[in-house]
Amino acid sequence: MKIGILGAGHIGKALARLLAEAGHEVGISNSRGPDSVVEGTQTLRDLAHEIGRGVKAFSNEDAARFGELVIETIPFGKYMDMPAVQMEGKIVIDTANYYPERDGQIDLGGLSESAFIARHLPKARVVKAFNTISAAHLETLGDVGKPVGERRAIFIAGDDAEAKAVVTRLIEEIGFAAVDTGSLEDSRVQQPGTPIYGPDLTATQARAALQK
Ligand SMILES: NC(=O)c1ccc[n+]([C@@H]2O[C@H](COP(=O)([O-])OP(=O)(O)OC[C@H]3O[C@@H](n4cnc5c(N)ncnc54)[C@H](OP(=O)(O)O)[C@@H]3O)[C@@H](O)[C@H]2O)c1
């Protein structure tokens, strides 16, 4: 499928490579646009070329327009920069974690982090995923050769069952196992500081951990 990725940092790059290797068409954006260079950094176009497999360098708007599914993996505090109009009707994977010391003080209005993001994307079908795994482990721990129950768990949450099924399939295609924590509001259980945030659990261990 066509996948647009907003953010070309640790997680954006890892997902672009994994999903392109799995046969998807990927377009990626950053804060600067395809050709802009900030001292000492490569352009996004060079980065896309380095990832290979036809990955395209886009603006945020073009990446969102391109994707049948859009992954938002920019710093939480930049949520206002997501092109909400171009994301309407799309399945959106939200990888973001809110760290006030990095992102500044943001009033979430009592919402979970992903429900807050979803409020900014009113017509998108938001699924939280990939927020509990480090980029290094995302790069290395996927194994399509393992039975799903023995794979490293990727926790997911969302209010749209069909969207969660699509995201589950993508997660399995890149060698992980999706473990559902419930609705976007329930996704609090997979936010920073919770027992399941960080440890490398298999899907079987992850389901047991959620029972506790
Ligand atoms: N790192 C991890 O292991 C990890 C694990 C799970 C979840 N997460 C979460 O995933 C999100 C991304 O993390 P990361 O570590 O990949 O971040 P990162 O390495 O700091 O990269 C952030 C990327 O977002 C881009 N960006 C920043 N502002 C933007 C904007 N307004 N529009 C478009 N792109 C923008 C940056 O572009 P420029 O290069 O142009 O600045 C950069 O490519 C965060 O919410 C983080 O908490 C991270």
Between the CA of 28 and the centroid of ligand 1 the distance, in Å, is 12
Between the CA of 6 and the centroid of ligand 1 the distance, in Å, is 8
Residue 38: predicted pLDDT = 79
Q: Is the CB of 137 under 6 A from ligand 1?
A: no
Distance between CA atoms of 94 and 114, rounded to whole angstroms?
7
Which residue's CA lies nearest to atom 47 of ligand 1? Answer: 97
User: Given ligand 1 and candidates 5, 6, 10, which is best to mutate, with the most ligand atoms within 8 Å of its CB?
Assistant: 10
* Mean predicted lDDT score pLDDT of the chain: 97
* pLDDT at residue 175 is higher than 90: yes
Which residue's CA lies nearest to atom 28 of ligand 1? Answer: 31
For range 97-106, the mean pLDDT = 97
How far apart, in Å, are the Cα atoms of 6 and each of 64, 73, 94, 212?
A: 8, 6, 10, 35
Residue 41: predicted pLDDT = 80
Residue 65: predicted pLDDT = 98
Between the CA of 211 and the centroid of ligand 1 the distance, in Å, is 31
User: What are the pLDDT digits (tens) for 55-75?
Assistant: 999 999 999 999 999 999 999
Q: Which of 112, 59, 118 is nearest to 91 (CA)?
A: 118
User: Given ligand 1 and candidates 5, 31, 98, 139, which is best to mutate, with the most ligand atoms within 8 Å of its CB?
Assistant: 31
What share of the chain in percent tops pLDDT 70? 100
Band the pLDDT of 212: cuts 50, 70, 90.
confident
Question: What global pTM score does this model have?
Answer: 0.97
User: Given ligand 1 and candidates 73, 79, 131, 132, which is best to mutate, with the most ligand atoms within 8 Å of its CB?
Assistant: 73
Between the CA of 7 and the centroid of ligand 1 the distance, in Å, is 5
Q: Determine which of 32-41, 48-57, 178-187, 191-200 has the lowest per-residue pLDDT on average.
A: 32-41
Residue 161 neighbours by CB under 8 Å, 6+ apart: none
Q: What is the position in ligand 1's atom list of the atom closest to the CA of 13? A: 16
Q: Is the CB of 95 under 6 A from ligand 1?
A: yes
- Which residue blocks in the chain are alpha helix, DSSP H? 10-21, 44-51, 60-66, 100-103, 113-120, 135-140, 161-173, 203-211
Show me where the domains of the chain are located: 2-211
User: What are the pLDDT digits (tens) for 13-46?
Assistant: 999 999 999 999 999 999 999 988 877 788 999 9
* pLDDT at residue 150 is higher than 80: yes
Q: What kind of architecture, by CATH, is found in domain 2-211? A: 3-Layer(aba) Sandwich (3.40)
For range 118-128, the mean pLDDT = 97
Two structure tokens written together for 104:
């500044």
Q: Is the CB of 74 under 6 A from ligand 1?
A: yes
Residue 96: predicted pLDDT = 95
Residue 40: predicted pLDDT = 78
